[in-house]
Amino acid sequence: MKVRINPELCQGHGRCYDLAPELFGADEEGYGQVLGDGLVSPDQERTARLAAANCPERAIDVEET
Amino acid sequence: MSVDDRFRPLEQGDVEEEGIRSEIITGPVSDWATDFSHLEPEWAADPYPIQDDLRQRCPIAHTDRFGGGWLPTKYEDVAAIAYDTERFSSRSIIMGNFRPPRDVAPVGGSPPISSDPPFHQHARKLLLGAFTKTAISRQEPATRAFCHELIDKFEGRDVVDAATEYAQHIPMRVIADMLGFPPEDGPQFADFVEDLLEGINLPPEDRIQRMERLFQYLLDQVHDHLDNPRDDITSYLIGAEIFGQKLTAEHVTGAMALLLIAGIDTTWSAIGSSLWHLARNPADRQRLRAEPGLLPVAMEEFLRAYAPVTMARLVKEDMTWHGVDMKADDWILLSFPAANRDPAQFDRAGEVVIDRQVNRHAAFGLGIHRCLGSHLARMELRVALEVWLARIGEFTLAEPGNPAAVRWSTGQIRGPRALPLKIK
């Protein structure tokens, strides 16, 4: 699984880095950023889906690889 | 003493003089679908059944009050308007009987909340850094200590007002610190908030006078910061630039007004509504005490179900939108609370489910105007509830049989303004 943030949609609500700090961080203006290459280990898949499902802007893509 | 000739004394006409005024219409609403008013007591006491009814039979209500306006009640419509800055302007975001002149766009009176693209992103960028989750986390220890101080004062008492003796003071103290205003000015801030957000139907002379009082205060703070610059948002704004130029005086004081007003009664309301819910629901209270780790999830549900903030927009040009004929300068009352209770968007939308895991609510708005202070609000709400739950053994409404004992605010920010609780 791989996660991506669409920077056109992200408004910096920060739900992703609240809920899945191991996968997402914030830039210096608070916009969400994918940490590393965005690859999600099997034990993080649930958290990744939860973060995507809670993004008010629907800015997170979860891609099954 | 440093001189900065941007900040001249206030003159007559500086505040809300030019613009379009409409007739003030008050009194009982005849039909919520055709004559709605968010300023009547019925709405203040309990807006949710009204919104639920409108969502089923309308779903976009109209009013001739305030010079004409619309109230969408579906999540889908609220989101579409929040995203559509081409057709809906933020030139004024408080629905009332005064519309600022069209040429205040795209800056507006209190940037960036009152700004439209393309100016908006520049004004917003100036402030984002001060309100990130990381920047806000630095305020947490002082916020927690202050919450404890407030509860220390309850010693020996059976009944306290959680709205005026607890919830209100927390955001007031934190934003005063961030702006670099004297903490003892708190009571004045409460007046400013009430003047601006609850005095909507007052005569214009009254409103102008109240507004002048606020801007005079802000100007005094600017001068104090010019004399004694320090590490706070006021000094930062005085020195900040857009397009290589210092901000205008109106931009500086407008942004200060925004941070002060928007930072106070919104979070005051969120803390108060959450405590009101818990005081009436022993099962939720006990569960949160048993599982403190659930609080961040429960808090999002309180924000969804009791979203404190409704915004407004102005229609830019005549158009037919989602089946209704909107006229230029009609208001849109952009109800995030109504969107958050739309059953098409949320399962069990009308219930408070404190372990709701998927909660894509719009309490902090959607799109480019996402609440700048959302990380601050979340920190204050979490700390306020953590400290309250840890310190207050048990609490219930002081007068459960008397709904009038709890007084709710009127206008676009909703929360309890009197909340007597019996504590043990």
Residues in A closer than 8 angstroms to B345, CB to CB, are none
Q: How far is CA B236 from CA B169, B185, B214, in A?
A: 25, 21, 20
Contact B132 A26 (CB under 8 A): yes
DSSP letter for each residue of A7-41: TTT-----HHHHH-TTTEEE-TTS-EEE-TT-B--
> Chain B closest CA to A37's CA: distance in Å?
23
Domains and CATH numbers, chain A: 2-63 (3.30.70.20)
Check: CB of residue B176 under 8 Å from CB of residue B139: no
- In angstroms, the CA B300 to CA A51 distance is 13
Do A50 and B362 make contact, defined as CB atoms within 8 angstroms? no
Q: What is the DSSP letter of B413?
A: B
B127-152 pLDDT, tens digit each: 999 999 999 999 999 999 999 999 99
Rounded CA separation B69/B62 (Å): 6
Probe site for chain A from B83, B121, B132 (most A CB atoms < 10 A): B132
Locate the domains of chain B by residue range: 20-161+274-423
CATH H-level superfamily of B20-161+274-423: Cytochrome P450 (1.10.630.10)
pLDDT value at residue B10:
79
Enumerate residue ranges in chain B where pLDDT < 70: 1-3, 12-17
Residue B95 contacts residue B69 (beta carbons within 8 Å): yes
Amino acid at position B149, single letter: E
- Kind of pairing between the strands at B331-335 and B69-72: parallel
pLDDT given for residue B195 in this prediction: 79
Task: Give residue-wise pLDDT tens across range B225-265.
Answer: 999 999 999 999 999 999 999 999 999 999 999 999 988 98
For the four alpha carbons of B303, B305, B308 and B313, in that order, the dihedral sign comes to positive
Q: What is the pTM of this model?
A: 0.96
Distance from CA of A65 to the nearest CA of B (A): 23
Query: Among residues B254, B265, B127, B113, which one has the least CA distance to residue B189?
Result: B265
- pLDDT score for B16: 62
Q: Is B386 helix (H, G, I), strand (E, B) or coil?
A: helix
Q: Is the pLDDT of residue A26 over 60?
A: yes
Distance from CA of B395 to the nearest CA of A (A): 30
CA distances, A38 to each of A4, A58, A62, B126, B318 (Å): 7, 17, 10, 29, 46
Q: What distance in Å separates the CA atoms of residue B382 and residue A40, rounded to the nearest whole number?
A: 29
Residue B193: per-residue pLDDT: 86
